Each structure stands twice: as structure tokens, then as C-alpha cells.
Structure 1
Amino acid sequence: MQEAWELLRNVELALTSLDRLEASIFAMKNEEKQRIAIAAPSVFGFVTLPKVVAIIHSQSASNVRSISGSYEQIGEHILAGRADLGISRLPLDPSLFEWAPLGSARNVCIFHPDHRFSKQACIEAHDLAGETIVDIDPQFAAHQMNFNALRFAGVEPDILVEFDCNGHEAGYVSAGLGISITNEIIVREYAAFNLEAKPVEPSALYHYVAIWQKGRTFSSALNVSLEAIIAAFSTEPPAVSLGSANLLAVG
């Protein structure tokens, strides 16, 4: 059985390699017009990826294919040749990937503007006592960190909804159904929602990067696309504003 799965995986990689070869031949014939596949968590489709596509469109004739997935799946898309570039987080294996820094972020709590947290400068674990929580799936490290901090403070979390992908919490929170914890870069994607956000302590530090397969040769269109991803992150304002709440950006 293991041999059969390995054979299927090798066949998939071979077919993907043929697709990549075909795309490379097309790119050599028409350097400016190339389809660029970008893998990123789906939440970046709210704000960041539209900025990326707008920059690519303004500077080349290339079109974009957007592929979503978890951070682990982003790496798999890159290695399997399904994606040319990705948006991910460190740590990554330097023997498999190369990357360019995009930004760092700390945790924030998001809530409806009418919530009592709007009057606080910072949210601590004990503040969450009695709060209904919209929380990411227990398989994610962010869940473990947040809930360890709560239980250390003697607070047993009251979970209303669990979600398995960043972005799903915004609708529940903007509807006033609970509060949630995310980070400063993810919260930028929620500009269209009725939310406020404040820093959380204790907090983790997340480092976001644009990634590609180690040793990848860049075409002109791929260089434009990488620069577009970097520009889409660097053009974000130094302070994130949701409603009337301001969050200090981390370098």
C-alpha cells in the first residue's frame, strides 16, 4: 500500500513538472505574458492579494492563479510545482525554500465596536473571563498558546464557534457573537468588517515571508510578482485601524 501511494505521488509530481515545463516554454516565447500561481492562506484574498494582482497587472501582461491552503499546504504547493510563489510564516526549511521578509506581527483581540474592550488599551488573559470566544481549531499552535495563557490565569474558555481557517472568525465577531484572537497582519484583511482590535498579552511574534522553491530560476514576470507581494505588504500603514481602534505595527 505504501508503495502504491508513493507511485501515485511520483506520478503527480511528474505531471506537475510537465505543466511547469510547458509554462516555462510559453514564458520563454512570451517573457511578459505568464500565468503566475501564488499560494496563500485564503484570508489574504480580502485585501493583500487584490493589491498584488493590481500591481502585477499594471506592470506586466501576466495573469494570476490564486491557490489557498494552510501554511503547511503552501509549502507543499510550492514543492510540488503547483505554485510559483507563496505567502507563509517562519520557521521554514532553508534546504527546501528561499524567502523574502514581508513583516512581523503580534497578537490582537478583535471584537464588536460596542464591546467593553473598546475602552481598554490592552487585553490580558484574565479579561477574557466570561467572554464568548470564536476560536481557531485546536490543531493550530495559536490555539494552544492562547488557551494555555487563559488556563494559567484560571480562566476556562467559553467557545461558541471553532473555525479551521483564518478569516472565518471575522463574520461571527462583527455580528457580535463573540471575541477572537488573531494577529496584526491578519487583522489588516478585515478592514471591511465592523470590528475593533486591541493588543493582547501574553503575545507571540509571527514572521511573514514570501517563499519559493530553493534554486528556482526567476523569469521577468516572476520577479515582478515577487516585488508585487513585497510592495503589497510594505504599503500597509504603520498603524492598523479598525473602527476607532489603533494597533501599533511591529517591524
Structure 2
Amino acid sequence: MMTLRQIEVVRAIMITGTIAGAAALLHVSAPGISRLMKYTERMLGLRLFERRHGRYVPTPDAEDIFEQINGVYKKVDDLHFALRRIERGDGLELRLASVPSISNVMVPRAVVRLRQRHDGLRLDINILKIEEAVEYLLLGKGELVVMSTRFDHPGIDFLPLAAGKLVCIVPEGHELGRQSRITTREIAAHPLIGIDPNDPYGRIMTELFRQAGVTYDIPIRARFGTTVLALVRAGLGIAVIDEFTVAHGSAPGIKILDIDEPTDFQTYIAIKAGKPLSRFAETFIALLRQEMAAVTRLPNGPQRYRKK
């Protein structure tokens, strides 16, 4: 039985008509090609080529063999074409969702890099509230949800994504804009544009003021970070927001201040429990983790958390 290497060498000689040409086509030495061809002929007990005017021409007895070899190569070419389509993502789709705070800056940056690797891949991207994630995953509407928190659910697994922190944002020209850091007590001295205390980031902000023992006023409350940014930029107050929403210069007209007190939080990828991720989903998660870790400069692990 001929090996794939023997088939490759015989076909190269058939195509080029010379030992030197076959060696150049396969990027090997000519003596090696000559030895393997002679060995193949001895093994088969059949002359595959005869010399005519300095070129190797298939013998009549070998014509059927060459037809079969061409058939093998056609199937190999078809396989390579199919593999290239899979690598590009042609005809395939990745469906994912994200909470708003991570969808505005981080998700698009990861998607750009994903498309650079798989330019034929189609994507369906949704923006969801945290409470919508369960239905999205369990009903098979998408493969993953980028989350700002985790919760206990027997049908959902969570992959740690990136650690982050909250920051204080003030409009350009604000009196606080002269400093780079701020305390919770200083924040409480100004009207706040706040988020729902039941929101993961809202709970952290509320705990900050509770631990500092200060009262605060939130005359304007908004659900999404983009709205908070617009309100702060308009000079209607200051706000506490996650660092991912304002990363990479995405908040012009706004000054970002670090908060002295700890405001750390962890983000996650939510997936349907027990369901393997597609290679495209795994690549997206890895790229998103890299993008977010670059903002926070904190290491993140690939462990999976699930309610026991």
C-alpha cells in the first residue's frame, strides 16, 4: 500500500515531468525524490514512469494509478477548502450578549480582533439586563452573556472574566477636575448622578457611603452608563461608574478620578451549564479577557464557578 508521502512524490513527478521539478515543488532534495520513486516502483512491482527526451512520462500501466491519485488529491483539496471555511467562519454565526457597561467599549474591541481572525464569521450581539440572561441562555437564543456579576442558578455556569474597579467622573472644568483622586466623603459633598442601588455597581457605591458614614443625594438616577456619561458631560452632577465604560478615551469631556476606598468587582461570562462552547466563543472570551485585563492590569484565571 502506498503512503501519502509516496502518493505526493509520484504526483509531483507526474505534474512537473522531472525529478528536479518535483523536488522544487515539494521543497526537498532531488536525490530523495529519486530514491523514493525507485523504492515505490520496486514495492509495486510496476514501472510508473519512462524517460522521454529528458522528461518522466507515465507508463500506460500506471495511468489508472494516476487517475486514482488525482482523485485522492481532489478529496484532500476539498478537505482543505472545508477547513479553511471553518477557520474563516464562513456560513457560521456566533450569538452573544452583554450587559451595557461592558458592551460599549470592551465587547467591540474584542469583536474587532475576532473578525481579524475569522473574517467570514457572522455575529449576532444583544444588549441585555442582568435579569434577562437566564432566558437568553436557557432558551438557546445565544451562547454566552458577558456579565457584571454572578448569581446562583442550577442551569447557568460562570467563567471569571476580569476584575475591575469603580471610578468617579466629573465634567471638564469642574472644581474636582484639578485632582486625580477623590474620597467617598468628597464625592458625597456633590450632587450625584446615580445608578440603581440594586445594580451590582450601585450596591458597591451604596456600601462605600455606608462604610464612610456619610449621607449623599442622588437627584438624577439613570440605568445605563452611556446615559450617566451624557448627564455628567452636560454638567448636571458627578457620578461613580465602572472603569470599563470610560476606558480607551471613550468619555470625551469628562475627567476620571480614582477613588481612595476599595471599589473592586469581578465580571463573568455566563453560559448554559453543561454545554460545550464553540471554538469561536472560546476565542471571543479569551480576547475579551485580554482587552479587559489590559485596562485593569490584573491577572485573571479561567476557572469555572457553578452553584453546588
TM-score by length of 1: 0.71
- Alignment pair present for 1:44 and 2:102: yes
Cα separation, 2, equivalents of 1:57 and 1:97 = 27
Task: Confirm or deny that 1:91 pairs with 2:150.
Answer: yes
Q: Distance in 2 between matches of 1:192 and 1:216?
A: 37
Q: Secondary structure at the match of 1:146?
A: helix
Q: Residue 181 of structure 2 aligns to which amino acid in structure 1?
A: C
Percent identical pairs in the alignment equals 18
Bigger Rg, structure 1 or 2: 2
8 Å contact kept, 2:169–2:241: yes
Letter in 1 for 2:106: T
Q: Paired residue for 1:18?
A: none
Instruction: Write out per-residue CA displacement over residues 178-198 of structure 1, whole angstroms, 9 at most, x where no aligned residue.
Output: 100012233327624321212
* Structure 1 residues 90-117: Cα deviation after superposition (integer angstroms, max 9, x where no partner): 4343743334332111221111132222
Question: In structure 1, what residue type is equivalent to 2:122?
Answer: N
Measured on the aligned residues, the alpha-carbon RMSD in Å equals 2.8
How far the C-alpha of 1:41 sits from its partner, in A, is 1.4
Could you tell me whether the CA contact under 8 Å between 2:158 and 2:270 is conserved in 1? yes
TM-score after normalising by structure 2 = 0.59
In 2: Cα distance, 1:187 partner to 1:146 partner: 17
Task: Give the superposition deviation at 1:88.
Answer: 0.9
Matches within 5 A, 1:100-249: 100-147=159-206, 149-150=208-209, 153=212, 155-188=214-247, 191-234=250-293, 236-237=294-295, 249=297
Deviates more, 1:222-231 or 1:202-211: 222-231
What displacement does 1:164 show? 1.6
Distance, in Å, in 1 between the alignment partners of 2:94 and 2:194 is 33
User: Which of 40, 54, 57 does residue 115 from structure 2 map onto?
Assistant: 57
Distance 2:290 2:188 in 1: 40
**Cα distance between partner residues in 1 of 2:298 and 2:204:** 19
Partners in 2 of 1:147 and 1:114 — Cα distance?
26
Structure 1 residues 3-39: Cα deviation after superposition (integer angstroms, max 9, x where no partner) = xxxxxxxxxxxxxxxxxxxxxxxxxxx7433221111
SS in 1 for 2:256: strand
- Describe the shift of the 1:152–1:70 C-alpha distance in structure 2 as closer, same or farther (beyond 3 A): same
C-alpha separation in 1, matches of 2:292 and 2:213: 38
- Tell whether the 8 Å contact from 1:70 to 1:165 is kept in structure 2 after alignment: no
For 1:108 and 1:216, locate their aligned partners in 2 and report how far apart those are by CA, in whole Å.
36
Q: State the partner residue of 1:74.
A: 133
**Aligned mates of 1:184, 1:151 — CA distance in 2:** 22
Structure 1 residues 58 and 123: alpha-carbon distance in aligned structure 2, compared to 1, 3 A threshold: same
CA distance in structure 2 between the aligned counterparts of 1:225 and 1:148, rounded to whole angstroms: 33
Contact 1:48 1:189 in 2 (8 A): no
1:104 to 1:148, Cα distance in 2 relative to 1, 3 A: closer
- Aligned-residue offset at 1:201: 4.1
Corresponding residue SS for 2:218: strand
Greater per-residue helix proportion: 2
Paired residue secondary structure (2:262):
coil
Q: Any idea what SS the aligned residue of 1:186 has?
A: coil
Size of the alignment, in residue pairs?
211
Unaligned runs of 5+ in 2: 1-84, 300-308
**SS of residue paired to 1:58:** helix
C-alpha distance in structure 2 between counterparts of 1:183 and 1:151, whole Å: 19
Alpha-carbon distance, 1:169 to partner: 0.4
